[in-house]
Amino acid sequence: MPKILIIDDERPIRSTLKEILEYEKFDVDEAEDGQLGLELINKNTYDIVLCDIKMPKMDGMEVLEKAQEAGHEMPIVMISGHGNVETAVESLKNGAYDFIQKPLDLNRILVTIRNAMEKKDLVQETKVLKQKVNKVKSSDIIGESKAILAIKGMIEKVAPTDARVLITGGNGSGKELVARQLHKNSNRNKCPFIEVNCAAIPSELIESELFGHEKGAFTSAHKQRKGKFEQADGGTIFLDEIGDMSASAQAKVLRALQENKITRVGGEKDIKVDVRVVAATNKNLREEIDEGRFREDLYHRLGVILIHVPALNDRRDDIPTLAEHFVDLISTEQGMPSVTFTDKGMKALQEVNWTGNIRELRNVVERLMILCDEEITEKDIEMYVSPKK
């Protein structure tokens, strides 16, 4: 039975809502003020919270903020008899699921609750899927080629230390997997592994993303926010495509590595962080240094250990093992029937020009599983995969 908490200082409203919701087969708890409501949220698991804004001891906005800080993910619907557009917008910006003005429309309440329940289910499904994805991402490195065995040996030696690692290699070659293996086999593996794609974040936002910001630091900074370095405290931060990082962000990362301290955007206080930094790039950083686009001192700080991940074209002997791995993986994830490769089919697959590396191979295997019969032949490879150039 879904469980709902009503937080409101007006007894008649609590009683009316409870009566209707219990009739609709909900299990209902009540709280007469924000402080008691927050205590109940911290002690119990609720599917939805209905929370008044104006209350004694602790108002609804503070309840919303503290519930989110504590990591509670249930939808919180704000209700108020003093509502206006500004109040509604502020509550939604701060993470409320919806805002309903008094006097309450009970039909609107029920529709909002049902919608919130559906959203909660979707969020839960998404979390399960993310866990599956992370499990896949954390899988062992596949391959027995000389280059891959060397990487595995390097990881075994380096992972237990706190040495910073710079991983190089082409797009889709598996740099992230190497970073995850370093974290997985380290003494920090019980703490977070935080990934930052430096190329995907606009240069004007990268500092806020990495180091966080204080409330009011810029126009859209409505509340204080921790950055990726703080989120990774005790664990590992993976700075992917670090060659695309802006000069000002490079300077701040250098300071974080030198002093183990960061400063939030708009802040003045130094914050100590205990983070292992693993970085990756598909660029030649030596050339970037010569062109003045990357700091040489940062390069030396990052590159205590250098690991180069070879292109798939340079490790073709691993393609049969990788292809079979992806067949099993896709079959399990998507419920697709398994397939096999003929000897000539596999040989043709090995002769493809893999410009997209492991990522391209995975996509091609999925394409072949969808379009081909149970046995994938040389003709299938010629028809559905780009030939070697």
- What is the tens place of the pLDDT at every residue in 86-101? 777 888 888 888 888 8
Encoding tokens for residue 231? 């989120």
What are the structural domain ranges in the chain?
3-128, 138-310, 313-384
| Out of 30-34, 198-202, 347-351, least confident range | 198-202
125: Cβ–Cβ under 8 A, 6 or more apart, which residues? none
State yes or no: pLDDT of 131 exceeds 50: yes
Between the two ends of the chain, the Cα-to-Cα distance in Å is: 61
**Per the confidence metrics, is the pTM higher than 0.85?**
no
What pLDDT is recorded for position 335? 86
- Return the structure tokens found at 71: 């990591």
- What is the spatial order of strands in the sheet that 76-80 belongs to? 27-31, 3-7, 48-52, 76-80, 98-101
Of residues 26, 60, 22, the one with CA closest to residue 41: 60
pLDDT score recorded for residue 316 = 95
The identity of residue 280, as a single letter, is A
Q: How confident is the model at residue 140 (pLDDT cuts 50, 70, 90)?
A: confident
Class of domain 138-310: alpha beta
Distances (CA, A) of 34 to 14, 57, 59, 373: 13, 6, 6, 61
Give the residue from 30, 40, 38 showing the smallest Cα distance to 9: 30
State the residue for tokens 């950055």.
Answer: 227
Instruction: Report H helices in the chain.
Output: 11-23, 34-43, 60-69, 85-93, 106-137, 146-158, 175-184, 206-211, 228-231, 247-259, 285-290, 296-302, 319-334, 343-350, 357-371, 378-384
Read off the pLDDT of each residue in 342-358 and give the average, rounded to a whole number. 95
Same topology between domain 3-128 and domain 138-310: yes
Rounded average pLDDT over 202-219:
82
**Are the C-beta atoms of residues 143 and 318 closer than 8 Å to each other?**
yes
CB 272 within 8 A of CB 261: yes
Strand-pair category, 276-281 with 98-101: unpaired
- Do 323 and 349 form a contact (C-beta atoms < 8 A)? yes
| Other CB atoms within 10 Å distance of the CB of residue 109 | 19
**Across 378-382, average pLDDT:** 94
Give the percent of the chain with pLDDT over 90: 60
Is pLDDT of 235 > 90? yes
Burial class (CB in 10 A: 0-12, 13-18, 19+), 118: exposed
Contact 52, 9 (CB under 8 A): yes
175 or 120, which is more confident:
175
**pLDDT grade for 146, boundaries at 50, 70 and 90:** very high
* In CATH, 3-128 is 3.40.50.2300: yes
Decide: residue 355, CB within 10 A, 0-12 exposed, 13-18 middle, 19+ buried: middle
CA distance 234 to 274: 5
Per-residue pLDDT tens digits for 249-285? 899 899 889 998 888 888 888 899 999 999 999 999 9
CATH architecture of 313-384: Orthogonal Bundle (1.10)
Cα dihedral sign, 117-121-123-127? positive
Look at residue 134 in the predicted model and tell me its pLDDT. Answer: 53
Looking up tokens 């391209």 gives 360
